[in-house]
Amino acid sequence: MERKIIEVKNAIKIYKSGDEEFRALNYVSLTVYEGEFVAIMGASGSGKSTFMNMLGCLDKPNSGSYFLDGVDVLHKDQNELAKIRSKKMGFVFQGFNLISRTSAIDNVCLPMIYSGIDEPLRIKKAKEALRIVGLSGRENHMPNQISGGQQQRVAIARAIVNDPPLILADEPTGNLDTKTSIEVMNFFVSLNEKMGKTIVLVTHEPDIAEFCKRVVTFKDGNIISDTIKKKR
């Protein structure tokens, strides 16, 4: 039986501003299985960012259910959610979110500090994660000493260093040129195909979605299409 990494059922999210209500998610249901590579697409205001925040346990729906790798996360407190995020998911953002005055290896070590891993093992695992993304020899470089694409690869190394089953990527190529975007997306493909990582990636760019195996499109808080693509 296939392992369900994400199982969302009938999620509703309503934002209120005075007497006005905005329904960002409207009975959204989605299941993502282990090893899938899913693009989330949609125009601004479609609900895709709200949905990703929910997947990342950064926000909760008003109603509905969300199971992450079999765990009901909607009834966990903030401390429990922090532990779940640390163990179950890695995050990659458009703006890299690296600490500017901290070396590449120290940036990659950060999630392991929160996980309570001792320093020698942290350094060993961080070096291996940087090797996987092709940055051996750049461990001591600061973010301003490497290119944007290399910074995003440091961020990917940070996301995988705790070996989470799920990677959430929010417009990870948004600040990169076309050539560098392709290089970064090829790393995601490798993480998915060679390391078995389940990846959910938000993008508004169809050419970036082409790297993914499944494309889910949001509009007005609803999923309007869900397409599993043929192998490239």
DSSP per-residue letters across the chain:
-PPEEEEEEEEEEEEEETTEEEEEEEEEEEEEETT-EEEEE--TTSSHHHHHHHHTTSS--SEEEEEETTEEGGG--HHHHHHHHHHHEEEEETT----TTS-HHHHHHHHHHHTT--HHHHHHHHHHHHHHTT-TT-TT--GGGS-HHHHHHHHHHHHHTT--SEEEEESTTTTS-HHHHHHHHHHHHHHHHHH--EEEEE-S-HHHHTTSSEEEEEETTEEEEEEEPPP-
Structural domains in the chain, CATH included, are 4-228 (3.40.50.300)
Q: Give residue 231's pLDDT.
A: 58
pLDDT by 10s per residue, the chain, length 232: 789 999 999 999 999 888 888 999 999 999 999 999 999 999 988 999 999 999 999 899 999 999 999 999 999 998 899 888 888 999 998 888 888 889 999 999 988 877 778 888 999 999 999 999 888 988 999 999 998 889 989 999 999 998 999 999 999 998 889 999 999 999 899 999 999 999 999 998 999 999 999 999 999 999 999 999 865 4
Q: Give residue 119's pLDDT.
A: 87
Q: What is the token pair recorded at 170?
A: 């929010």
Q: Give residue 25's pLDDT.
A: 95
